[in-house]
C-alpha cells in the first residue's frame, strides 16, 4: 500500500484558498498592466515547477494571451558556469519583436534562473520580458534580480506542493506545505 504524501507535510504554509485569492489578484494586475498594449502577450511557463500556477493563472486572465513553455536546469554550484542555466527545451518562435513575454515561475530563490532567462529572451528579440512568481524567497537571493510580480514572500523553509517538488514528489499537492525535516535530512 502506497503512503499518503500528505503524511510527509509538517504544516501547511499557504492554503488552497489563499493561493486562489492571490492568483486572481495577480491576474487582475496582469490584465491592468498589459490591457492597453497592442503587442501579443505570451505567458511562458518554466517547466516543471510552474505548471499548476500557470494553469490557474491563465484561467483568471481576461485579456488575450498565448502560452508556451521552456525547460531549464541550473548548473551545479562550484562549476565555472555557476549562475548560468542549461536550456533543455527552448522557445521556438519566428518573430518575437511584437511579443511581450511574461515568464511564469513557481519560485524565485537565488534568482539565477530568472536573471538568466530575462537576458536570454531579450537577446532573442522579445519586445519586453517581465516575470511573475507564485513565491519569492528573498533570503536566498544570490544575484541582484527581483521579479516584477509575486504572490507571496515566504521564509527560507523547505516548501513543496502546487508544482514544487522534493525528489520529483509532492508537485500534485493542492497547497504549499513545509516538508518534515526527516524527509530531506
Active site residues: 109
- Distance between CA atoms of 73 and 137, rounded to whole angstroms? 18
Of 150, 146, 73, 168, nearest to 113 (Cα)?
Answer: 73
Give the residue with the Cβ less far from ligand PRP, 101 or 112. 112
Q: Which is nearer to ligand PRP, 99 or 113 (CB)?
A: 113
* Contact positions with ligand PRP (CB under 6 A) in 53-92: 73-74
Quick one: which segment of 35-43, 59-67, 92-100, 103-111 binds ligand PRP (CB under 6 A)? 103-111
The size of the interface with ligand PRP (CB under 6 A), counted in residues, is 16
- By the 8 A CB rule, do 107 and 135 touch? yes
CB nearer ligand PRP, residue 33 or residue 166? 166
| Sole binder of ligand PRP in the list 107, 118, 132, 179 (CB under 6 A) | 107
Q: Draw the binding track, 23-52, toward ligand PRP (x: CB under 6 A; -: no contact).
A: -----------------------xxxx---
Indicate whether 136 belongs to the interface with ligand PRP (CB under 6 A).
Answer: no
Burial class (CB within 10 angstroms; exposed 0-12, middle 13-18, buried 19+) of 96: buried
93: helix, strand or coil: coil
Decide if residue 165 touches ligand PRP (CB under 6 A).
yes
Dihedrals φ, ψ of 40, to 5°? -75, 145
Angle at 47 between CA 45 and CA 50, to 5 degrees: 60
Which residues lie near ligand PRP (CB under 6 A)? 46-49, 73-74, 105-113, 165
Amino acid at each position: 500500500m502506497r503512503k499518503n504524501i500528505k503524511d510527509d507535510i509538517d504544516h501547511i504554509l499557504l492554503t488552497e484558498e489563499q493561493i486562489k485569492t492571490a492568483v486572481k489578484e495577480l491576474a487582475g494586475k496582469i490584465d491592468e498592466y498589459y490591457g492597453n498594449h497592442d503587442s501579443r502577450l505570451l505567458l511562458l511557463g518554466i517547466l516543471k515547477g510552474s505548471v499548476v500556477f500557470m494553469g490557474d493563472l491563465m484561467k483568471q486572465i481576461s485579456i488575450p494571451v498565448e502560452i508556451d513553455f521552456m525547460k531549464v536546469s541550473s548548473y551545479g554550484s562550484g562549476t565555472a558556469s555557476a549562475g548560468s542555466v542549461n536550456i533543455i527545451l527552448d522557445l521556438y518562435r519566428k518573430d518575437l519583436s511584437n511579443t511581450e513575454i511574461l515568464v511564469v515561475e513557481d519560485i524565485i530563490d537565488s534568482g539565477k534562473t530568472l536573471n538568466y532567462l530575462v537576458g536570454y529572451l531579450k537577446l532573442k528579440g522579445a519586445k519586453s520580458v517581465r516575470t511573475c512568481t507564485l513565491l519569492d524567497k528573498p533570503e536566498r537571493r544570490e544575484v541582484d534580480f527581483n521579479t516584477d510580480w509575486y504572490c507571496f514572500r515566504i521564509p527560507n523553509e523547505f516548501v513543496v506542493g502546487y508544482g514544487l517538488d522534493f525528489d520529483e514528489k509532492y508537485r500534485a499537492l493542492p497547497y504549499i506545505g513545509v516538508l518534515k525535516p526527516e524527509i530531506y535530512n
